[in-house]
């Protein structure tokens, strides 16, 4: 049992799949987090495009359910998202608004406002990190606050924290992997069923694995953005996603997959970053027995290091609870040292 208990007040900005997942996980784990880490996590504010809801003592499950259902009785009238970040007393903001790789907004404004108001920030939003990594990290440092973002790369896979914590002392030589579950699903189904790209894409859209506009996934942009976040955090580059050489999966045919398979390979959309500045996303031949050859929506990354050799992590790259798992572990990492 942990003797000292610390109350940490959270706000959640962006209350879609991930924001909702964070609220669910914080509620579900509340007692366990108190017992194991001495952390009493309370959600004191939530904002999305509908508005803002606040309760300085901590929002209850029924209040959160009402906000989610669009019940206007729980809205704080006249309060904007930025007002909430600045004015509501809290220690940490979770930012989970949509990824925008053109200018990073609205995430950049939320993150800057929170850091300048003295809040720690944990985010799943890739845009701000892929475009303004150095500026945001410098701001966090100047303000003596943390900016953590494990959920931005590989969802539940503990890549960034594993490299920083468990592989400390190693020099990372390269990171190579499948960082987009939608592309992996499409290539897996095309290969297994000998079906054309358009057919499998439609099927993936019908079952909710691909978005109605799948461009960012299938053209490799999402993988490139994640690669940039790894490049900046692990290799201390100052890259943006425009620096990545990108080719997607739209011209892969079932025949190409079959030819590759007959020769002992799978074709996978691989993101590749190394210590010499290589930043590339492209379909690659992967030996069938290679640990990178994972199927369906799974993500995988092999980290090549000087001391530990190759370490491969496989896991679920997306999903509200999976992303919330990474966000929760970032929150605990800030307080439970």
Stretch that binds ligand NAP, among 11-19, 161-169, 186-194, 211-219 (CB under 6 A): 11-19
Report yes or no: 265 and 288 within 8 Å, Cβ to Cβ: yes
Catalytic hit among 176, 216, 226, 316: 226
- Residue (128 or 248) nearer to ligand NAP, CB: 128
Residue from 7, 28, 56, 98 binding ligand NAP (CB under 6 A): 98
Give 48 or 272: the residue with its C-beta nearer to ligand NAP: 48
Asked if residue 106 binds ligand NAP (CB under 6 A), the reply is yes
Among 8, 26, 41, 47, contact with ligand NAP (rule: CB under 6 A): 47
In this complex, which beta carbon is closest to ligand NAP, that of residue 191 or of residue 271?
271
Residues contacting ligand NAP: total by CB under 6 A: 26
**For residue 221, what are the CA distances in angstroms to 100, 174, 242, 280?**
11, 20, 9, 11
132 binds ligand NAP (CB under 6 A): no
Q: Is 66 in the site for ligand NAP (CB under 6 A)?
A: no
| Cβ 306 to ligand NAP shortest distance, Å | 30
Radius of gyration of the chain (CA): 21
Instruction: State the residue for tokens 């579950």.
Output: 181
226 in active site? yes
Per CB under 6 A, does 13 bind ligand NAP?
A: yes
Decide: 322 and 316 in contact? Cβ < 8 Å.
yes
Judge whether 326 and 158 are in contact, CB under 8 Å: yes
Instruction: Please tell me whether residue 50 binds ligand NAP under the rule CB under 6 A.
Output: yes
Contacts of 308 (CB under 8 A, 6+ apart): 167, 170
Segment (H or E) for 268: strand 265-274
| Listed residue (152, 120, 159) closest to 335, CA to CA | 120
Q: Is 254 in the site for ligand NAP (CB under 6 A)?
A: no
Token couple for 228: 């940039």
Stretch that binds ligand NAP, among 24-32, 96-104, 136-144, 249-257 (CB under 6 A): 96-104
**Tokens 């985010």 belong to which residue?**
123
User: Smaller CB distance to ligand NAP: residue 79 or 195?
Assistant: 79
Instruction: State how far the Cα of 16 lies from the Cα of 99, in Å rounded to an integer.
Output: 12
Smallest distance, Å, CB 154 to ligand NAP? 8
Tell me which of 11, 53, 97, 299 binds ligand NAP, using CB under 6 A: 97
Q: Does 96 bind ligand NAP (CB under 6 A)?
A: yes
Contact 122, 95 (CB under 8 A): yes
What is the number of other CB atoms lying within 10 angstroms of the CB of residue 292? 18
Q: How far is 294 from 304, CA to CA, in rounded Å? A: 18
Instruction: Looking at residues 259 to 318 of the shown chain, list those that interact with ligand NAP (rule: CB under 6 A).
Output: 318
3-state helix, strand, coil in the chain (%, to 5): 45, 20, 35
- Measured from the CB atom, the residue of 97 and 232 that comes closer to ligand NAP is 97
Residues 317 and 284: their CA atoms lie apart, in Å, by 19
CB-based contacts of 214, cutoff 8 Å, min separation 6: 182, 201, 204, 205
49 binds ligand NAP (CB under 6 A): yes
Binding segment for ligand NAP among 92-100, 198-206, 228-236, 249-257 (CB under 6 A)? 92-100
> At closest approach, how far in Å is the CB of 19 from ligand NAP?
6
CA of residue 89 relative to chain centroid, distance? 26
Binding positions for ligand NAP, 140-199, rule CB under 6 A? 151, 155
Asked if residue 81 binds ligand NAP (CB under 6 A), the reply is yes
Would you name the residues annotated as active-site residues?
226
Which residues lie near ligand NAP (CB under 6 A)?
13-19, 47-50, 81, 96-99, 106, 124-126, 151, 155, 318-320, 323
């Amino acid at each position: 049992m942990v003797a000292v208990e610390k109350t940490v007040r959270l706000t959640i900005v962006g209350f879609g799949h991930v924001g909702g997942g964070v609220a669910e996980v914080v509620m579900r784990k509340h007692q366990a987090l108190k017992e194991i880490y001495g952390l009493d996590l309370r959600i004191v504010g939530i904002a999305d495009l509908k508005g803002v809801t606040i309760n300085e003592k901590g929002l209850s499950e029924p209040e959160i359910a009402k906000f989610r259902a669009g019940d206007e009785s729980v809205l704080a009238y006249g309060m904007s998202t930025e007002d909430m970040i600045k004015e509501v007393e809290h220690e940490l903001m979770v930012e989970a608004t949509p990824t925008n790789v053109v200018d990073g907004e609205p995430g950049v404004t939320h993150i800057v406002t929170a850091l300048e108001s003295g809040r720690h920030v944990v985010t799943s939003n890739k845009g701000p990190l892929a475009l303004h990594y150095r500026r945001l990290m410098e701001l966090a440092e100047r303000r003596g606050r943390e900016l953590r973002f494990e959920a931005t790369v590989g969802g539940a896979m503990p890549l960034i924290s594993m490299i920083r914590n468990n592989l400390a002392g190693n020099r990372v030589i390269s990171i190579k992997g499948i960082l987009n579950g939608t592309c992996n699903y499409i290539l897996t189904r095309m290969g297994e069923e000998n079906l054309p790209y358009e057919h499998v894409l439609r099927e993936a859209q019908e079952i909710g694995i691909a978005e109605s506009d799948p461009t960012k996934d299938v053209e490799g942009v999402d993988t490139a953005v994640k690669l940039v976040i790894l490049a900046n955090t692990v290799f201390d580059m100052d890259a943006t996603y425009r620096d990545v050489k990108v080719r997607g999966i739209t011209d892969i045919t079932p025949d190409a997959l079959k030819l590759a398979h007959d020769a002992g390979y799978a074709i996978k959309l691989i993101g590749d970053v190394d210590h010499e500045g290589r930043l590339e996303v492209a379909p690659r031949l992967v030996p069938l027995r290679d640990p990178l050859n994972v199927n369906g929506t799974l993500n995988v990354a092999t980290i090549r290091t000087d001391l530990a050799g190759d370490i491969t992590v496989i896991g679920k790259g997306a999903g509200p609870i999976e992303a919330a798992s990474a966000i929760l572990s970032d929150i605990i990492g800030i307080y439970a040292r």
